[in-house]
Structure 1
């Protein structure tokens, strides 16, 4: 819808710091560490030196930390190390000390080290030599900041974990005043502030760049991580001199700027859903700069007992989901946008070709329509199709690894997670079977209250090491919105952990089922809405179904890895009811229904009035006599 140019309201001023959510990279383990002063401060508490205390370094990345000024390859780094170390400059940030636990539930310490995302993706991720070099630098920083000595030669890179413990949000100053962001020079570590300002490596804004100048030459888009305000700056042509020359069209994920009512000056897709009705626009005729400021839609939802703001969604995102490498092709941008919007609560088949591939574009949608018809897939949970003519590398969602050197590839997306089809693209039968395998996941179903009661009793112990997702689908879910079913189904289908067993129950609202849920799952908040529980060792946690499948999946994966850290927020399943207890509580429900039955209430009211009228008539009759 068209939006008129607003007044010259100033865009919100930025703050002095970044609040950075690290993206996982790799983890190095040290079997022991030495406290240089005998004690260290861990989360506000003093810890004394302990024998064989393990230490972990989570090497993470983000876009806020600037990349090195030089492009360091293994060969260049080797030459620098052998000749002149003072030329090696890698911006890096070290977090505070945090306590964590090993897989054997042993106490340990860890820090999160931040480097630039582009540098990590292009040089660090695939080079064991550079990864080890980063550990050497990190050990120097940890020694200076926390007074802990680590031996880099004794470090062990973990193969099955990318991080230990929770990756904590780091607060980093834009222009560092402390030893948080530093770089290598001689044997000492110096601040970036001490560097020559002419190098141009500065923290300009408290914002995360979504699209940069390389993407659209006249457009910069930013997301403010504190206020969740999306800002777009567009430089218009010289013939645009006043606000009346400009028209801006917006919806929840797209912005189009039209000048002189005929030519398109810019068109872009947002990585985030926008509350476009609250957009504010400002045009500076001198610089010809159009500024758009619009809130990002992210409601607050209770999760861990406190308020879990959906802006914290980044905590649970995969590293591939947050790859901010620039995409220069509009078709690539549109494909990523489609993946985001169509795979969260539905599913998407993405056909990627390096040529037009007309035949596949025609035949694959036919297979999808046939498959959807056979399985009775409704429009509210559709299986979508999108075609991408690939002109550049796309690092998002692991697409490059799946596509490789293939000229044509087919990917199935669910919950923003990709699954590649490995069969021939001209085989309708194989594509149909691929869809069947992805859509029909093994899911145990409970039918009666006895099934539910028996299930809760069978897992109410410490022996079973599995996690269970229990989805209670109440029949009157229309009162609660349609999101629950899709969220659960997609979350389960995109969770590939063998220890997670999905359970589903179509709840007929009998008194027996309601009593069992009320007595054994007493902390379930909405007993008449679709409810998703994660259960482990006789305890359960309710997961809000208004989260996207990706967030539900990532929470499940997080809970599996960190159960003992969050166990105290879970609720113990109630004890089984005897037959007599069950019947007694069912009878109580029946009595309550009778008490509040509208027909009985109406009859009682009418009867009451009748008795009053009879009493008055008798009184009048006696009084007359």
Structure 2
């Protein structure tokens, strides 16, 4: 089955990309939902102000990020500063994930009456308090948030940001639609999974003609037992646009080819997929293709 790739991360559901960085939430209290929201299994909540960050885009225009909180957003794993620093130095720097909800940009006026843009990002209130006392967690969160905005809205933001001392938010805080159920975090595929069938072998000339095998990894969710999802991350540093990539997702197979035979990947999976529900997106900044693949129940 040929799968269309989305060339623009801004048009994708943010769950699919970050991993980091998945923008999910879980319901803890009953909030009124519109019929459309109930159909999509989401809650409508008004964020509460926390603190505000000021930065600039590539054109020098002011950008404000309102860091807010809501009880509906789950807290991340409890961790000390030293544990986070050790994790960031490890081979799995994305092992710590922050549940958050990133709203749409909205036009506002700064204190001088000039136009600016504001983004609202909502986190758990307990985690907001942790950021107020921990520079390590605050810096990590703001780095993740800036990268998330850049990828989702195709912007470049300055890292010379300033925390506003006397202003908790800029403009208004519109309602946000937050998912009332969240998917488990993606974890590494465990070693107890069935062995992968061997990829067909080709001689050196065949491999050269087909292209270089890219670096990739496959993870499963949940980490143990039969997974609900498989996620493949394929590193394609020589690819500038997805228009040059052809992706075929089979019942238990991923076949990727590129124009001019730059890359070629043909791998079999140890589980059967729900092909029609599979999706893929290409991050033009990191040059990583992420494929999300729901797995057929056992």
TM-score (norm 2): 0.47
| Structure exhibiting the larger radius of gyration computed from Cα positions | 1
Instruction: Using CA pairs under 8 Å that are at least 6 residues apart, name the structure with larger relative contact order, 1 or 2.
Output: 2
Normalised to the residue count of structure 1, the TM-score between the two structures is 0.23
